[in-house]
Structure 1
């Protein structure tokens, strides 16, 4: 933890934070916050879509995962290994950041499509909180 806090390189991005924390467009997390009826992976059908599943297992991301392994030289893509690789060099930090940006942007786009679907369950639909309603009133029609 001290190495992470005291690092001299690498800024955290929103999507890297999602992968590290597990709080992103992962079926497990969306199910936990009651946005999904089940925690399954929409990409491969696995029973539990976690950040770790996305990093190590999901077939949908095999090409991106292979590129990450080739660049970093890390075979074990556990969170502990990924963080160690990130701290090891700026090149590795950039490779992991690039991986997270690519994967999470695609997962987010797929999530938006599922939210907007006409047959989406009410719990899936994008919620319209006070902030969103207030902002919508400001937009020209």
Structure 2
């Protein structure tokens, strides 16, 4: 990625107007990663402050408004997505043209289709098989979801 693109991302995402001529590429990358980490830390602190009942109301409210009247017509599932260390306090999911931002650690109701996407999301990593000498793909669930 070019220095000018990194500067553009810094301005768009964090409001930092950096001149690509004033920084080395590594410095710009470090600055971007630092700002991203600060952003996630602030979001996590905000999430922790909102874990009371009103936080749950906000999570459900946002989903209801994003989906409109159609949200009331579909079957819903009550879930809690576990908080993960070093992860965003929110999980973003898109289903059938609708975007959902679900707060981790808060009980929310989502359409069954959204739950299906979350349930089917997988991490794929590779483990070395000493017998064959090959790297074997291993899948595990992406999210730890508690269905209520």
TM-score of the two chains, using structure 2 as the length reference: 0.35
Structure in which a larger fraction of residues adopt helix: 1
The structure whose Rg is larger is: 2
Structure in which a larger fraction of residues adopt strand: 2
Higher relative contact order (CA 8 A, sep 6+): 1
TM-score of the two chains, using structure 1 as the length reference: 0.36
